[in-house]
Chain A
Amino acid sequence: MGQSQIPEKEKILASFPLRKALPPEISGWKTGREDQVFTRDDVFDYMNGGGEIYLAYDFQFVWVREYVRADEPSIVAEIYQMSSSEDAFGVFTHDTDGDEVELGQGGIYGAGLLRLWKDKIFVRILADRETPEAKTVILELGAKIAGAVAQEGGVPGLVKVLPEEGLRPKSLRYFHTLISLNAHYYLANVNVLNLSPETQVVMARYEREGSQARLLLVEYPTVERALDAHGRFVEIVLLERFKAGREAPPKKLEDGKFAGVVRSGRHLILVIEAEKKSVLEWITKTISQNLEGQKL
């Protein structure tokens, strides 16, 4: 995740192409306050306390438009420009509660909130409260934005090595840093896995053999960094002595569940909260094979 050059706000306001996809009026809703843009530098002015989650990805700017209509809730459309489709996908996976809708490369709607992603764009459209008319307008606005994004983007390569069997699709998360990990799953009060903007992480839950397990798959920029994180996990979390080149066997922890880690080149495959050891071993073995097959 390398941070790229962000255009000036005035230029974005004047020339952001997706701006033209949104009408000034729709079903009686008209644009409210002036359109706004917030970049990495001032995103906290828009969402104080919430900006960190976007900054944990290579977020460039968010373009915001408000629609208002008398006797109906106001609707705010936010278009997030990311530097890569992988990060647009990642932000989309942050919260997957809601019903899937066929918009863009993935859409979720629930109770007046639509989220979708396509190529390098993540979209969030929210009504103050849900009404039947507001829902129709939200979905129409989402379709207009998705339709204006010319091409589709790729999902992270790491996602492609996950075994589909037993995967709980809505549990899939993609991110880079500790702040995102902590938002989804607490491992420790220190950065055990050496996560940074350069790491890629996929987290998912599996159901297999009538049992559950949680996967954390991490890709590091170098083998050395993967090796160091491997040692840290074994010593800090598993509380075992680490010796490079020797795999630590899965360990049953205080909650009665198994935890284990396998390194494959620049990748760490961690399975935690596995109710069955056999499932843990199946996940690590399958992913190791897939990584080898994909030459990631």
Chain B
Amino acid sequence: MKKRRATGTFTRRDFIKGAAMGTLGMALCGKGKAVFAGAGEDAVPFAAETPQSVVVLIRDERAIGAGDKVDAAVVQEMIDTAVQQFSGEADAVRAWARYVHAGDTVGIKFTRCDWMRVHTDQAVIDAVVKRVGEAGVGKDKIFAQDGGLPVAKCTALINVPSVKVHTLTGIAASMKNYINFTPAPSRYHAPSTNLGEIFLLPEVKGKTRLIVVDILRPYFGPGPQINPLHRWNYHGIIVGDDPVAVETVCLNICQAKRNLFKGEPWPITPPPDFIAAADKTYKLGTSDPAKIKLIKLGWDKDILL
């Protein structure tokens, strides 16, 4: 009998041993810990002292009211505070001016998902559009869209995804949000390992100035269609500029929520191996929680991290 184990074959056992794709072993091991197998025993996730990437998470209890209604004013305030923190500027408009300029044509790429209904909330889109405009970009040079965004025309992109666990890719946040920049999105579904290469397409590469994640009402269930039991009000906004680090934070929040919901490990599947590939193969950022500094602002009840 010839040997059947071929190069490039990864099994569940490899992930559990941490031998496959570095960082995702704990998700499959399912011990309820952070998705964190790539670092040493003593490293504390998301507390890097000399971080490769910084991610800001802000939460506000007032962001969602009765009937799951999102409060636009509170959302604007959250985004302003988070971007100010991330940029180090004391003023919101000056903070945004560090990322976009009058000469830019700006694509604000949000997530619109009619069938699954986990969209980027309009309040988040409006808040970003407003600040990009105030930073000096003319209205005629701001394209806030999902499908059909003229990415080739844009000189700058603001990545504004929603967050959901996804049947085909494991998780869908800042990385998968760019999937429709390619003419063949289905190439990046099951397996989705190469999702990172979209960020290296000539019309996309180097244009992402900021990531503003709507994690107000994320989705942690298996999909492919929504089960309202699997959506929860997390009341959060995440800001960063490293799509891999941002995705890693989102993954950990969703994994923790799944375990909490079932009262036992409920690993995200298929494992989102595109996150580690985006780090190791495409060099888009870091998926190692030991190299990420997560700044937490605001409401900390049930923060899950």
Contact = CB atoms under 8 A, between A and B. Distances in A.
Bound pair (A, B): yes
Nearest to B25: A254
Contacts of A231: 1, 4
B223 A237 contact: no
| Majority secondary structure, B binding face | loop
Nearest to B269: A186
Nearest to B6: A190
A253 B13 CA distance: 8
Which of under 10, 10 to 19, 20 to 34, or 35 or more describes the interface residues of B? 35 or more
Contact of B228 (A111, A179, A186): A111
B270 A129 contact: no
A124 B271 CA distance: 27
Interface in A79-133: 94-95, 97-98, 110-113, 124, 126, 129-130
Which of under 10, 10 to 19, 20 to 34, or 35 or more describes the interface residues of A? 35 or more
A49 B168 contact: yes
A291 to B, nearest CB: 25
Given A46-B115, A53-B224, A110-B227, A186 B167 contact: no
Interface in B10-51: 10-13, 15-17, 28-29
A48 B115 contact: yes
A113 B227 contact: yes
B74 interface: no
Given A47-B115, A52-B168, A255-B16, A95 B5 contact: no
A188 interface: yes
Contacts of A110: 227-229
Contacts of B4: 231-232, 235-236
Contacts of A70: none
B229 A53 contact: no
Contacts of A126: 226, 228
A229 B110 CA distance: 43
A95 B11 contact: no
Contacts, number: 121
Contact of A188 (B11, B193, B222): B11
B239 to A, nearest CB: 26
Contact of B273 (A94, A189, A243, A253): A189
Interface centre among B229, B271, B273 (most CB of A within 10 A): B229
A74 to B, nearest CB: 11
Nearest to B17: A254
Contacts of A192: 11
Contacts of B222: 94-95, 183-184
A11 interface: no
A76 to B, nearest CB: 10
A243 B230 CA distance: 45
B207 interface: no
Given A129-B68, A188-B12, A235-B3, A98 B269 contact: no
Contacts of B223: 50, 53
Contacts of A112: 228
27 contacts: A49-B168, A50-B115, A50-B116, A50-B225, A52-B168, A97-B230, A110-B227, A111-B227, A111-B229, A124-B225, A126-B226, A129-B67, A129-B68, A129-B228, A179-B168, A183-B270, A186-B267, A186-B269, A187-B11, A188-B10, A189-B9, A189-B193, A231-B1, A231-B4, A235-B3, A236-B4, A236-B9
Interface of B: 1, 3-6, 8-13, 15-17, 28-29, 67-68, 113, 115-116, 166-168, 185, 189-191, 193, 221-230, 267, 269-271, 273
Interface of A: 46-53, 94-95, 97-98, 110-113, 124, 126, 129-130, 179, 182-190, 192, 231-232, 235-237, 239, 241-243, 253-255
Top 6 A-B pairs ranked by shortest CB distance?
A50-B224, A47-B115, A111-B228, A188-B11, A235-B4, A182-B270
